[in-house]
Amino acid sequence: MASNFSNTTARASTAGAVRSRIVGVGSALPTRCVSNQELALELARKGVETSDEWIVARTGIEQRWLAEPDVSSSMLGTQAAQAALRSAGVAADDIDLVICATSTPDFIFPSTACLIQKALGITGGAAFDVQAVCSGFVYALATADGLIRSGVARRALVIGAEVFSRILDWNDRSTCVLFGDGAGAVVLTAAQKPGILASRLHSDGRHEHILRAAGNVCGGAVKGHPFLTMDGQAVFKLAVNVLNDVARETVEAAGLTINDVNWLIPHQANVRILTATARKLGIAPERVVSTVAQHANTSAASVPLALSVAVEDGRVKSGDLVLMEGVGGGFTWAASLVRM
């Protein structure tokens, strides 16, 4: 099947078909880093018991970065986008598409993408948000790839940005220790040589109840429960199965095998999910990029944050085959296979 893919690529290139490639990466974190020990002390003042040992044993998380009250998703997204533009050597004026994946937008509207576009001084071109929770960045990447391949755009900023700390119940130990804030971004550009080889997106709304933030603003008041709720066991079981399935589906769609993958970058939800997914796929732990210990779960920001870290520390190199996948509330799941 690999030879068929190569032949298809060669024909597409000869015919002048447009594909898309990642040419720059960037990330941004708030200034406040909170260790498990610090968090345990803060929660103790509220009467909530936890400890560094308890958190690490169940999640692998050692710390998280929390936004100050005046820091928004658009601010973090703008910083990550600026870093990605520097990495790519591309001017903001050259961007004609901005897609931001977020579940914690600054406003109901305008979109966070429009606010980032404004902050970067970009005028014209499309800007919009994608809401697929922790799968959001992969959904956004696939969307940008499709728009570039169709000729609608030539150069895109794809961003995942979250301030999940704003929707946490800090009296709920089962959820408040899991999440952090941050942003990651990539610059995607039209190219003859394919970078995004295949993407597959899925959802199943029957599972919406196992992970959600069901509150909404109605008549000037919050209606419903305003904080994130989660059935951890149900999420774990579903996540491991769908991440395995979508990874295999995506790699097969590209005419390749799991053994061809150099790096797996899964959504950084929980070290147990990362470990179980890699084991099920037969991918060695040293080929899995894991930043959950340093960042906690940053939802749509987690995959681009992890990609940025791995590129900047030299693990992910030009030519490497990277499998990125996400899973989140909705229930949504998705994967993209990318040649860097």
E strands along the chain, which residues? 19-28, 32-35, 63-66, 97-101, 126-130, 155-163, 181-191, 196-203, 211-212, 216-218, 221-223, 229-230, 263-266, 321-328, 332-339
The stretch 196-203 carries a mean pLDDT of: 98
pLDDT score of 292 more than 80: yes
β 263-266/321-328 pair status: parallel
pLDDT reported for residue 222: 86
pLDDT reported for residue 73: 98
**Cα–Cα distance measured from residue 296 to residue 265, given in angstroms and rounded to the nearest whole number:** 14
pLDDT score of 3 more than 90: no
The stretch 60-82 carries a mean pLDDT of: 98
Query: pTM surpassing 0.85?
Result: yes
pLDDT score of 5 more than 60: no
pLDDT score of 6 more than 90: no
**Cα–Cα distance measured from residue 226 to residue 322, given in angstroms and rounded to the nearest whole number:** 36
Residues whose CB is less than 8 angstroms from the CB of residue 5 and which lie 6 or more positions away in sequence, other chains included: 197, 254, 255, 256
The mean predicted confidence, pLDDT, of the chain is 94
Top-confidence residue, 297 or 15:
297
CA 275 vs. chain centroid, Å, equals 18
pLDDT score of 321 more than 50: yes
pLDDT score of 9 more than 80: no
Which of 71-85, 151-165, 221-235 has the lowest average pLDDT? 221-235
pLDDT reported for residue 16: 65
Lookup: tokens for 132: 């697929």
101-136: per-residue pLDDT in tens? 999 999 999 999 999 999 999 998 999 999 999 999
**Cα–Cα distance measured from residue 187 to residue 83, given in angstroms and rounded to the nearest whole number:** 10
- At residue 17 the predicted structure's pLDDT band, cuts being 50, 70 and 90, is confident
CB atoms within 10 A of CB 131: 18
pLDDT reported for residue 7: 33
The stretch 7-22 carries a mean pLDDT of: 60
**Cα–Cα distance measured from residue 100 to residue 184, given in angstroms and rounded to the nearest whole number:** 10
Catalytic residues: 134, 267, 297
pLDDT score of 56 more than 50: yes
Residue 46, SS3? coil
All domains of the chain, ordered by start, with CATH? Answer: 15-191 (3.40.47.10), 196-339 (3.40.47.10)
pLDDT score of 93 more than 60: yes
pLDDT reported for residue 217: 86
Q: Which 8-state DSSP code applies to residue 109?
A: S
